[in-house]
Every structure is written in C-alpha cells, then in structure tokens.
Chains A and B, each alone.
Chain A
C-alpha cells in the first residue's frame, strides 16, 4: 500500500492524459440569487497534482472551489448548473450523499478554524463521524499519521490533549490540514490557506502541499502569484466569473495565451 502511493508521483507527470482526470467541470454556472458568479466553466483536474486557481478578488475562483465539495449548499440563495464529476460521477446527482462526498473531498479554509477541542479530538473528529476507526488504537494511529503528514507531529506529540485553539496561526493551519487528511480524502481543496500566515509558516505549508501531492489531488485558491508558481503544476486563471485560461504553470506564467492573463500576472490589474 505504502509502496504504491509513493510510486504515484512518478506516474503523475505535469502532462496529464484524459484517463486520470479526477474532477471534471462541464459548463458550470453558479448563481447567487439573481447574480451569476460563474459562467460556463470547463475544467479538468488530473489526479495527484496541484492546480492553482488565480484571479482578482470576486472572480469566482472560491465559488468554483466551494462547488466541488458542495459547500455552496449551505448558502440558501446559491444555485449550481452544469456538471461536476468526481471520477466520472455527478456530484450534484440526488443519489450522492453530500456527507460521503465531503469525506472524499476535504477542505482547508482561509482562516485556520480548529474546533474548540483538544488537538487530538480535532484530528479524530472526521474519522469518528465517518466511523473510519474501529478502536482507540486505530484512531490513535490515524491521528498520529495525519499529524505526521501535516508536519505537526513533532511539535504537538507531547500535548495532544491541549486545546487546538492554543496553537500558533501556522500550527493551527497545519492542524486543519491534518484534520482534513485524517479522513483520507482523495481531493483537498484549499481556499487561500496561507493568507493569514506569516512567510515562515507559509513556506512550511507550501512544503507540505508539495509532499501531499503524492497522495492527494489538491486544488488551491491563492492570491499570491509566487505561491501558485511554487506549488502548482497547473494553473487556471479566472476573471469576472470566466475561466480565461488553464495550462501548465510554467506556460501560464511565461507564455500566457490570453492578454488578460498577461495583464494580471504582470500586475497591471487585480
């Protein structure tokens, strides 16, 4: 098991074939009441790679992110049209249970939001509600493994029972990442995960994202062009609710095909 997961990055090259498409969006339109926030977005996201969604504020990148795990369901006026599939399965199909979907598609938020519980309980929360651990020993193991993967284990292993809210901002965000990966999702969505962190904590989280790519498909919304360039293999540029262009990160940042992308990444607007 562990061998196969470690071999995966070798398989997942930046050039993706259509066969290992993890998430596919076809003609996705999102409305908040009367206002349309996304216009006919078509985007394929390949497995085991990091894709950055960039664009100016209000361009719809977070909206797109939140429609992948149906977090928009919480917003009463929100309506999603078009098709989003996870491994070929329509996630807005009434057959799909949103609880199961979110167990497969985890999310990390802009602001670290640990629960007011102990560090241990924060990480154990997801496995507990999904019944993924059969006993205390197995749960302990999941918690330890998740914290290790999130690079937090050495810092907190002696105080697992102290409250998660007592950690520093960067540690809290890594705790939230550990919490998300404890459920063993296939995809992790990150909504500006470093915007509330200082540069050192940011570097730590970026390193982590790169490591996580081995096991997870990661979609990250970011305002930092450098971050997008550092962590992602693919980049998608959104503008005014339209997916302007999507391609290999190198290509987007060096030879964008659209003038708007060129303007945005060179800092002419946004």
Chain B
C-alpha cells in the first residue's frame, strides 16, 4: 500500500465518519426522545470526522519521522566497521546503501556488505509501510468507535468542534511563525560562523568589499575583504534616489485620486496605477538596464557629464517608479479615511480646497503617510532584480549617482550563484549580509506599523 493510498482510505473513512455522526444525531431525534439536541447534527458529523482523521494523521506523521531514523540505525549495523568510521565516511556509505535500495547510482563499486545492507534497508521500509497502513487505519477505526459512543442528546459536539477548529488555526499560524523563526535562526547561525572567519568590526565598518578568497594555494588576486560599508552606501544611495522619485509622485497621485478625481476617474486610475505593482521586478530590471541606463548615458554625453552605463541613477529612477503604487495606494487609503467632518469643518470656515488639503487633511493623514513611506523604503532596500540588472557590481564607496554602485542584495545574489562551498567566508558572507538586510527592513517595518497604529487610535 502506498502513502497516497493510505491517505485516500483515511479520507473515505473521514467522510463515512461525518455521515455516520450526522445520521446518528438525527436518529436520536427521530427515536422520539424528549428533549433537545445540544448541537446541530452537522456538528456531530464534523466531530466524528475529526475523531477519525486527526489521531490517524498524528500517528502517520510520528511514524514518518521515526521510521527513517530506525531504518538508518539498524542499517548502519550491516555496514562493516561502522563504529570506527568518522561521521562523513559513514554518511557517504549510508547514502550509498539508500541509493542502492532505491535502485539509484552508488558512489563506487558495490561490495557484498553494501548489498546486504541495501536488501535489509528496502525490506525494512516495506515492512514499515505495511505496518503504517494497518496501524493508521486501525487507529482511525478505533477512534471512530470511541467517538461514536459519545454521541448523545446532550453531547456538546459544537463546543468540541469549535475547540478543534481553533487548535487547527493556532497550528496554521504557528507554522508561519516557526518558519520565520527558522529562517532567522539559520541566518543568525550562519552569520556566527562567518564572524568566526571575519571579525565583526571589519565586516560592519570595513571600507573595502572584495569577497574573492583563495581556493587553491598560490591563487592570484584573492585576498578577500568583507567591509560592507560600500554595499550599504550603494543601497542607501539607490533607495534615496528611488524615494525622491516615488514619494512626490506617489503622494501627488494619492492626493489627486482621493480629493480631486471624480469617482469615475478614480475607478479607472487607481487599479491602473496598482498594475505598476504587479509588473514583475525583472521586467523593470531590463527596462532599467536596456532603456533608461543607455538613455542617461547618452544624456550625460550631451551635457558633458560622465554617466556610466550602469549607474545608481538608472536603477534608482526605475525603482522609484516601481514603488509609486506602494506610496500612492496606501496614502490614498489613509487620506480617504480622514473623516469627512474634518473637511466640512475646514470648508465651512471658508478654506479653499488646497488649504483644506495642506492644512487639515495632510496633517491628519501624516502618520499614515509616513508609515506608507517607511514600508516603501523597506521595499526599496530589499529590492534585488532591478539593481542586479542596472546598478552594476562594482563596490564603489561613492555618493555620486552617476557611478556604478552595488547593493547588499546584489552581492548576496552574486555570492550564492554558482557552485559554492559552505565553509568559505565568501559564501557565509551572504548570510551575514542577509541578516543585516533583515534587521534594517524589520526595523523599518516595526517603525512603520507603530506609526500607522498610533494614527488609527486617533480616529476609530
């Protein structure tokens, strides 16, 4: 019996449980008992369905975790000299055995011991699967019978079902939280490994970024320098350019849409503007690299400025356009949520439309607008594709927007693309950079959410 078949059988049993529970509950009513059913028949059915499904699922998950451990443990005893081998060699041997059992390719010639181990391994797995099938279905049927006995006139099926559903929701949110936690922890641990190779001060305050390290003795031009300041400078330069495009344009668009546009125009313009947010960033990237950057370079030639073909300016401008909808959409919502009574109050005092907007609406909406700008900044800092394609790779420590710069995200990409070994400072540097980026965006988001929440308290 394969795994998918087990699940199919379980689902069928669950459905049977549902119908059985429901009909048993209606049966109680029909049998002429006096009194009122505590829960609707639906809840009795749902309760029985959960009773069938959940214990069996729990059993299967536990089994699937434990069984491979046991298989490895027993299989290792068939490998000659396992006790004396170091962990890496044993691991290689064991994966050979597994590959062989699965009919795959092994790392070397097959010896007799490996063959025996592989035979044992595949037999163990067969037995394990068979046991799993029998036991899980037995668990399902047993819990079905247990649950069935509970169904009675005053049985609080609804309360139980609601409790189970609540637990399921908690588990769902826990999975999301734990995943985040796992990612953060892996970033932190890899960063700690990186910091064993490169001192923290060198990483945080170093002025030179050149991550190539020697892989072979005697290799040329590969000293390795991991100062991240040039990357941070590049990131902030591009972010600054992007925000100086996105904030005024986005804000003006938001003010126009919420205060001046007729509902018809707003109904068209707002979705169209939001399409900007739906364009894949890689498309923006080649737009920046193939259209904007050469245009800027040609413009520079005419004006007598030196603008390199890959410049912070090109990447920043295009990123700014990309971010416009983030600023405009959020600001638009915030401006719209300023109560109409405030507008009326200003108009009734004889304020003009622009006076009302400047002096009443924008100050009232300011916290929300600041929040939207901060979210846009964290988006700009983390943006990758546009800068990879248009900003270049040269880690220049410069404030000149006409030069090529590189950003934290670009360097993470270049460090991790291609064949990597996970014990070199070069690869681990990517994790350290990732952690830095994470801390920056997290900080911005926390500030943004705090600001937006303070605003909400004021009006709702």
Interface residues, chain A, CB within 8 Å of chain B? 69, 71, 74, 76, 98-103, 106-107, 109, 111, 113-117, 125-126, 129-130, 165, 176, 179-180, 183, 189
Total CB contacts across the A-B interface at under 8 A: 70
The 0/1 profile, CB within 8 Å of A marked 1, for residues 327-353 of chain B is 000000000000101111111111110
Q: Which 10 A-B pairs have the closest CB atoms?
A: A107-B348, A102-B350, A113-B341, A103-B350, A126-B349, A113-B345, A99-B350, A116-B364, A115-B360, A129-B351
**Given A99-B352, A115-B364, A116-B458: A71 in contact with B347 (beta carbons within 8 A):** yes
Tell me the minimal C-beta distance from A96 to chain B in angstroms.
12
Please tell me if B423 contacts chain A, counting CB pairs below 8 Å.
no
Q: Is residue B355 contacting chain A, with contact meaning CB distance below 8 A?
A: yes
- Residue from B341, B348, B351, B352 with most neighbouring chain A CB atoms (10 Å): B348
B453 to chain A, nearest CB (A): 16
Asked if residues A179 and B341 are in contact (CB atoms below 8 Å), the reply is no
* Contact of B348 (CB < 8 Å), options: A106, A111, A116, A117: A106
With CB as the reference atom, state the residue of chain A lying closest to B356: A129
**Contact mask for chain B residues 307-343; partner A; CB cutoff 8 A; 1 contact, 0 none:** 0000000000000000000000000000000010111
Which A residues are in CB contact (< 8 Å) with B339?
A: 113
B21-55 interface code vs A (CB 8 A; 1 in, 0 out): 00000000000000000000000000000000000
**A100 and B350 contact, Cβ closer than 8 Å, known pairs A113-B339, A115-B364, A165-B458:** yes
Q: Are B345 and A129 in contact, CB atoms less than 8 angstroms apart? A: no
Complex Cα–Cα for A116 and B341 (A): 12
Contact of B347 among A76, A102, A116, A189 (CB under 8 A): A102
Residues of A within 8 A of B364 (CB): 115-116
Complex-state Cα separation, A92 to B345, whole angstroms: 21
Are B350 and A180 in contact, CB atoms less than 8 angstroms apart?
no
**Given known contacts A113-B339, A115-B360, A165-B458, is B344 in contact with A126 (CB within 8 Å)?**
no
Contacts of B363 in A (CB 8 A): 115-117
Check if B349 sits within 8 Å of A102, measured CB to CB.
Answer: yes
Would B347 and A183 count as touching, CB distance under 8 A? Answer: no
Give min CB distance, B366 to chain A, whole Å. 9
Given A109-B344, A113-B341, A183 and B350 touching (CB < 8 A)? yes
Residue count of chain B within 8 Å CB distance of chain A: 20
Is B341 in contact with A111, judged by CB distance below 8 angstroms? yes
* B364, closest chain A residue (CB): A116
Interface string of B54-98 (1 = CB under 8 A from A): 000000000000000000000000000000000000000000000
* A98 cross-chain contacts in B, Cβ below 8 A: 350
Q: Give Cα A114 to B360, complex, Å.
A: 10
Distance in angstroms from B368 CB to nearest chain A CB is 12
B262 within 8 A of partner (CB): yes
Decide: A74 and B344 in contact? CB cutoff 8 A: yes
A195 to B352, CA, bound (A): 28
User: Chain A: which residue is nearest B365 at the CB level?
Assistant: A116
Interface residues as binary, B224-256 with A (CB distance below 8 Å gives 1, 0 otherwise): 000000000000000000000000000000000
The docked-state distance in angstroms from the alpha carbon of A210 to that of B33 is 72
Chain B binding site: helix, strand, loop or mixed by DSSP? helix
| Nearest CB in chain B to that of A116: its residue | B364
> Chain B residues with Cβ under 8 A from A99's Cβ?
350-352
Chain B residues within an 8 Å CB radius of A69: 348
Residues in B with CB closer than 8 Å to A101 are: 350
- Cβ-defined contact, A183 with B349, below 8 A: yes
5 A–B contact pairs at CB < 8 A?
Answer: A76-B262, A99-B350, A125-B346, A176-B345, A189-B348
Bound CA span A130–B341, Å: 21
> B349 contacts which chain A residues (CB < 8 A)?
102-103, 106, 125-126, 129, 179-180, 183
Bound CA–CA A23/B364 (angstroms): 35
Contacts of A113 in B (CB 8 A): 339, 341-342, 344-345
**Distance A69 CA – B346 CA, assembled complex (angstroms):** 13
Instruction: List 12 extra interface pairs beyond A98-B350, A103-B349, A117-B363, CB under 8 A.
Output: A69-B348, A74-B343, A102-B348, A106-B349, A109-B341, A113-B341, A115-B342, A115-B359, A115-B364, A116-B364, A130-B350, A179-B349
Q: Kindly report which residue of chain B lies nearest to residue A128, judged by CB atoms.
A: B359
Q: How far is the CA of A180 from the CA of B346 in the complex (A)?
A: 10
**Chain A residues within an 8 Å CB radius of B347:** 71, 74, 102
**Complex alpha-carbon distance, A179 and B350, angstroms:** 12
In the complex the two chains form, what is the Cα distance from A100 to B350 in whole Å? 7
Q: Among B344, B355, B458, find the residue whose CB has the most chain A CB atoms closer than 10 A.
A: B344
**Distance between Cα atoms of A189 and B339 in the complex (Å):** 20
Asked whether B348 lies within 8 Å of A115 as measured between CB atoms, the reply is: no
Chain B residues within 8 Å of A114, by CB? 345
**Set of chain B residues within 8 Å of A106, measured between Cβ atoms:** 348-349
The answer for the CA separation of A117 and B458 in the assembled complex, in Å, is 12
**Shortest Cβ distance from residue A174 to the other chain B in the assembled complex, whole angstroms:** 14
